Amino acid sequence: MGTFPRKQFVAAIGASALLAACNAPKNDQAQISSAEPAGVGNAPPAGGNADAIIKARGLNPGDVDAALRTFVPPGKHDDYVMFASGGHSGQVVVFGLPSMRLLKVIPVFTPDSYVGWGYDFESKATLHDGDFKDATITHGDTHHPALSETDGDYDGRFLFINDKVNARVAVVDLARFETKQIVKNPLMINTHGLAVTPNTEYVIETAQYAAPLGWGYAPLNAANFREKYRGLATYWKFDKNKGVLDPQKSFSIELPPFFQDLTDAGKLDSDGWSFTNSFNSELAYPDNWDGGLPPEASMSQNAYDWMHVINWKAAEAFVRSGRASTFNGMALISIAQAAQNGILYLLSEAKSPHGVDVTPDGKFLAVSGKLDPYVQIYSIAKIKTAAARSDLKKGPYGIRVLPLTETRIAQIPIGLGPLHTQFDDQGFGYTSLFLDSAVAKWKIGDESGKGWEMVDKTSLQYNTGHLAAPHGDTVKPRGKYIVGLNKWSIDRFTPVGPLFPRNLQLVDVTSPKMGVIFDAPVGNAEPHYAQIIDASLLKPMSVFPVGFTPHSNGIDPNAPKAGKEGVRIDGDTVYVSMTQARSHFTPDVVHAKAGQKIIWRLTNTESTKNAMHGFAIAGYNVSLTIEPGKSEHFEFIADKPGVFPYYCTDFCSALHLEMMGYLLVAER
């Protein structure tokens, strides 16, 4: 093009459509309302004939009913948004309800070359914050998403998610739908449960497989397992203003080496308490190798396991009084301290428990044991009354035991393999049945133990894990739907090879009889748990102010600015200050010499909604998607001489293919 001005070039080729596509007006978001997008394809087909379609497609009236309940017309938005864990993909997957449309995948513990997560300097640093000792971990096993709460209800501001395998917790900022922070638990190797307190004072992370605290070593034998292996509950303090977990103000409670599992926080009447179940009251460990039982047999011999009942407000006061010790930089309350100061109690629960869920009024606990066909109901008022008694018997590790007979008020027979419970707005609980592959609906009764009964049951396919309901674990459940997060899909979908999709099933609960109304295959790892929020509570940004960096959640003073771009060489470092906008990079050529370090800053200067641009370069492992306004930076050593095209990876305009440039790395 030589010196031919770009504007004249566009005019010269003369296609007004092309021009419009290349230089779309900066204010086009004003022309497109978010609720009613303009454009073609939004009108229903003319002359639709429902009867003919029903006949031609072989549908029955139930199919049509289900279709109408889930159908969200093109261009219309869903009422609810579901955040599902991405299992061992290390991600969070976002769906709209009731359409079950996939809206977004948020990378958390795993690098992602679409979003550019783990490729730019800032997100790499966030991933490094989750390092284990010196090892950078690039996978995660996400289990339990937990939305931030205000007054016991989701507030739409943050999402927390844990990594079971590496005991990490991440904060996703819902202003950006982007991971903001990752913390590694300094005491535990792995964890499982995650829950928030009603005003997000704390994010509670509980252990799974016992190990020496502080990532230590102790040979595996009965004595060591009893004395040196430990469980844990960590209360991560959340700083709501900064939107980050504050390890300095967080604390942990040492627990016996029972394998802690799910946790729920008390609310309303039971605020200040948390409940963590566990399996392996046997204190068994894997010794099949040495002639003993395999772990699954040795860990399920006892008829009962132990629930940990924790008064976290008492624990917080204990830490503030300065009596806790510190281990690996975190305040730690020992088992003895917790047992002697009204912080920790044990309570029997049916064997191999999984779910522990507090009812919306904060008055009752629903506990399910996988090997027990009941939902066990406990009164939290009775738990608190029992905890205040001075004559409680001591159980394992000197921890006082709350009497089962005084606290458990009902047992609802529901079927095989009960796991997890959610609630609706009509006074019902819904519990998944893993072995029955079903969901059971039961009525919430009263304190005297009356009125707790199953009212309905419907089959799901297959092996349901968690259930999710709109605001289903808050003080204000919204009802309407239950989503079954199923493990297997077996015969539900067109075959796609031996790795089958998981199947999420949407269940309508507005009628007395529940029914499956939609199957949503997920081509991703097992989505263990999900939370569903009223979409109107989410207020994400749609464009960033130009120069925005997530690192400081504000304008980066070093962000490249339009008109001020350039390449500066200082010693052996090349500083690139680059902008991108439809349909060019400025500058479009970067020179370096082999071995020089390149510090490359890139701002997308667009302010138009959705006008993202990609950036990828051959040979140097960089891939980014930069949203309008955002500034990112990455660094590498230009150790390979050669000619390296870089280009925009997002088809952003009619001249997208031309949106490219060269990095020229000369031999020394």
Residue ranges that bind ligand CUA, judged by CB under 6 A:
583, 613, 648, 650-652, 656, 659
Question: Which partner from the list ligand CUA, ligand K7E, none does 419 bind, CB cut-off 5 to 8 Å by kind?
Answer: ligand K7E
Alpha-carbon gap, residue 460 to 311, rounded angstroms: 37
Alpha-carbon gap, residue 531 to 483, rounded angstroms: 10
Q: Where are the alpha helices (DSSP H) in 71-215?
A: 121-128
H or E, element range at 667:
none
Per the listing, tokens 């500083």 go with 575
Cα angle, residue 539 at apex, residues 538 and 545 outer, rounded to 5°: 150
Alpha-carbon gap, residue 173 to 181, rounded angstroms: 9
Closest to ligand CUA by CB, 356 vs 652, is 652
Q: Where are the alpha helices (DSSP H) in 415-522?
A: none
Question: Which partner from the list ligand CUA, ligand K7E, none does 505 bind, CB cut-off 5 to 8 Å by kind?
Answer: none
CB of 528 to ligand K7E, least distance (A): 3
CB of 473 to ligand K7E, least distance (A): 12
Q: Where are the alpha helices (DSSP H) in 229-322?
A: 295-298, 312-320
For residues 611 and 570, the answer to whether their CB atoms sit within 8 Å is no
Closest to ligand CUA by CB, 164 vs 656, is 656
CB of 164 to ligand K7E, least distance (A): 6
DSSP at 393: P
Beta bridge partners of 516: 507
Closest to ligand CUA by CB, 509 vs 602, is 602
Question: Which partner from the list ligand CUA, ligand K7E, none does 659 bind, CB cut-off 5 to 8 Å by kind?
Answer: ligand CUA
Question: Which partner from the list ligand K7E, ligand CUA, none does 652 bind, CB cut-off 5 to 8 Å by kind?
Answer: ligand CUA
Give the three-state DSSP class for 270.
helix
Question: Which partner from the list ligand CUA, ligand K7E, none does 656 bind, CB cut-off 5 to 8 Å by kind?
Answer: ligand CUA
Question: Which partner from the list ligand K7E, ligand CUA, none does 369 bind, CB cut-off 5 to 8 Å by kind?
Answer: none
DSSP at 449: S
Question: Which partner from the list ligand K7E, ligand CUA, none does 333 bind, CB cut-off 5 to 8 Å by kind?
Answer: none
Closest to ligand CUA by CB, 464 vs 583, is 583
Closest to ligand K7E by CB, 375 vs 399, is 375
Closest to ligand K7E by CB, 22 vs 419, is 419
Question: Which partner from the list ligand CUA, ligand K7E, none does 648 bind, CB cut-off 5 to 8 Å by kind?
Answer: ligand CUA
Pairing mode, if any, of strands 660-666 and 589-593? parallel
CB of 193 to ligand K7E, least distance (A): 8
For residues 160 and 198, the answer to whether their CB atoms sit within 8 Å is no
CB of 261 to ligand K7E, least distance (A): 8
| Dihedral pair phi/psi, residue 184, rounded to 5° | -100, 130
CB of 623 to ligand CUA, least distance (A): 13
CB of 85 to ligand K7E, least distance (A): 8
Q: Buried b vs exposed e over 308-323: b needs ≥16 C-beta within 10 Å?
A: bbbbbbbbbebbeeee
DSSP at 117: B
Alpha-carbon gap, residue 532 to 458, rounded angstroms: 21
Binding interface with ligand K7E (CB under 6 A): 143-144, 192, 262, 354, 419-420, 465-466, 528-529
Q: Where are the alpha helices (DSSP H) in 59-198?
A: 61-70, 121-128
CB of 659 to ligand CUA, least distance (A): 4
Question: Which partner from the list ligand CUA, ligand K7E, none does 143 bind, CB cut-off 5 to 8 Å by kind?
Answer: ligand K7E
For residues 83 and 159, the answer to whether their CB atoms sit within 8 Å is yes
Paired tokens of 84: 């599902």
Alpha-carbon gap, residue 441 to 455, rounded angstroms: 6
Closest to ligand K7E by CB, 154 vs 529, is 529
Question: Which partner from the list ligand K7E, ligand CUA, none does 465 bind, CB cut-off 5 to 8 Å by kind?
Answer: ligand K7E
Closest to ligand K7E by CB, 70 vs 531, is 531
Give the three-state DSSP class for 316.
helix
Question: Which partner from the list ligand K7E, ligand CUA, none does 71 bind, CB cut-off 5 to 8 Å by kind?
Answer: none
The one-letter amino acid at 501? P
Question: Which partner from the list ligand CUA, ligand K7E, none does 9 bind, CB cut-off 5 to 8 Å by kind?
Answer: none
Give the three-state DSSP class for 199.
coil
CB of 485 to ligand K7E, least distance (A): 7
Closest to ligand CUA by CB, 592 vs 612, is 612
Burial class from Cβ neighbours inside 10 Å (0-12, 13-18, 19+) for residue 574 reads buried
Closest to ligand K7E by CB, 331 vs 438, is 438
Question: Which partner from the list ligand CUA, ligand K7E, none does 613 bind, CB cut-off 5 to 8 Å by kind?
Answer: ligand CUA
CB of 353 to ligand CUA, least distance (A): 52
CB of 56 to ligand K7E, least distance (A): 40
Q: Which residues are within 8 A (CB) of 516 and not within 5 positions of it... i.e. 6 or more apart?
A: 66, 458, 459, 460, 484, 505, 506, 507
What is the DSSP secondary-structure string of 373-434?
A: SEEEEEEHHHHHHHHT-S-PPB-GGG-BEE-HHHHEEEEEE--SSEEEEEE-TTSEEEEEET
Paired tokens of 668: 């020394």
Which residue has the closest beta carbon to ligand K7E?
465
CB of 119 to ligand CUA, least distance (A): 17
CB of 654 to ligand CUA, least distance (A): 10
Closest to ligand CUA by CB, 147 vs 543, is 543
Closest to ligand CUA by CB, 245 vs 590, is 590
Closest to ligand CUA by CB, 531 vs 653, is 653
Paired tokens of 500: 């089958």
C-alpha torsion sign, points 222, 227, 229, 231: positive
